[in-house]
Structure 1
């Protein structure tokens, strides 16, 4: 809903299938590398291969056939039969399914929602039910994370799509603090087919299904896979994992959950 208060201008102005810029180069949750520009182009704007237009085929001229009178009469007969049958069906209420196409076009292969700010994220299998706060870019140009005093809340990157729009809606969260576990401590335990639900400001609940849970060295994050899939509405949940390196380095890995929108409800 383009007029909804609270939706960032960068999100509200997007068309549903529009490709947006990826998060800039930087870190998320200790740190997470963001997409690196390649050859001066955004990793999301991949040009399609140019197609060659085939030369028109020359069709040899053929002598025009004359329609036989009998063929014309037969065609007119069937046209009249069709018209009479349609008239009988309308007047009598009889269902002439033979002459009727489908009532409506087939549904989409997946749902797509209008933009709306996320308010709460729940993962029943991990017993997570957390409020959502908006995070943008930190002072150094990296994706920000929730402040430590709010470590049990989930951060939504407001420079990307809202959950349910085309593209990956990005959520980040802390795995732990010096005082104990945080909101995404058990994120790596998720399994394919498990559900993630996001309550949105427009009153809808977007329901996502986990596709995979993967772990990457922070220096080898596949940025196009994480940020670049705009083929359908999806989620990316991210936190830290792997070996603790200490100091400013934090953990060695990033845990990334891939999930796709499967339904929604009011």
Structure 2
């Protein structure tokens, strides 16, 4: 079944504007100018996701493995990214009273959260998880997110007792004013995952990082 959380292009663009404003708050001073290292380059064409399957059909993995069907809706409980030693429970993130997207509290920079108005991890469609790069003068849960590369694994434990296993397909560092809305939130016919944090150069004037690190992943096991 095609994802139903995205209700039209206008709603998507409106959400993107809100998200851009909120993502600017994800970067806080850790020390000095903050994290300035380069993220992994976008995956080459051979590493990109294969064309989407027909609605309701399992996706065809880029590595030639067995196709994996979407999972039933079930709230996520925790995330584990072994390569960067990132483990956290997941809190639901919705919209604030002013229609800005909620983020995990900066006083708890090791806390990650999932956007509850989107698909749950493992469902068909793009599920989104947000985390701080740093905050409260401490490293954040996604401090090392930029180190991920195609093939790295991400596990999401779900409330129904199942675990959704994802493999990274690409990692991008993009300027916040050029956030790739369609690529992140565009409707898909396969179960996918997005991990988002701040990155790039820390702007002392605005007290924000100038870029976002975005990890794209697909479901490989359930």
Query: Taking structure 1 as the reference length, what is the TM-score of the superposition?
Result: 0.62
2:78 is aligned, of 95, 120, 128, to: 120
Q: 2:200 & 2:117 partners in 1: Cα distance? A: 28
1:160 is aligned, of 118, 123, 130, to: 118
Q: Which residue of 2 aligns with 1:186?
A: 144
Q: Which is bigger in relative contact order (C-alpha 8 A, separation at least 6)?
A: 2
Q: Which residue of 2 aligns with 1:17?
A: 2
Counterparts in 2 of 1:179 and 1:220: CA distance versus 1, 3 Å:
same
Contact 1:198 1:207 in 2 (8 A): yes
The root-mean-square deviation of aligned C-alpha atoms, in Å, is 1.9
Q: 1:212 & 1:161 partners in 2: Cα distance? A: 20
Q: SS of 1:148's equivalent? A: coil
Q: Which residue of 2 aligns with 1:30?
A: 24
Q: Which residue of 1 aligns with 2:43?
A: none
Displacement after TM superposition at 1:30 (Å): 1.8
Structure 1's consecutive aligned runs of 4 or more residues displaced over 3 angstroms after TM superposition are none
The aligned length equals 175
1:147 is aligned, of 105, 109, 113, to: 105
Can you list the C-alpha shifts for 1:160-209, whole angstroms capped at 9, x where unaligned? 00001111111000000142211000000001001000000000000000
Give the unaligned 5+ runs of structure 1.
1-15, 33-107
Give the unaligned 5+ runs of structure 2.
7-11, 27-65
Q: Which residue of 2 aligns with 1:87?
A: none
Query: Taking structure 2 as the reference length, what is the TM-score of the superposition?
Result: 0.74
Contact 1:29 1:174 in 2 (8 A): no
Q: SS of 2:221's equivalent? A: strand
The structure whose Rg is larger is: 1
Q: SS of 1:237's equivalent? A: strand
Q: SS of 1:226's equivalent? A: helix
Can you list the C-alpha shifts for 1:74-103, whole angstroms capped at 9, x where unaligned? xxxxxxxxxxxxxxxxxxxxxxxxxxxxxx
1:204 aligns with 2:194: no
Q: 1:219 & 1:31 partners in 2: Cα distance? A: 14
Please state which structure has a larger fraction of its residues in strand.
Answer: 2
Displacement after TM superposition at 1:230 (Å): 1.4
Q: 1:180 & 1:165 partners in 2: Cα distance? A: 33
Q: 2:117 & 2:158 partners in 1: Cα distance? A: 17
Displacement after TM superposition at 1:114 (Å): 0.1
Q: Which residue of 2 aligns with 1:105?
A: none
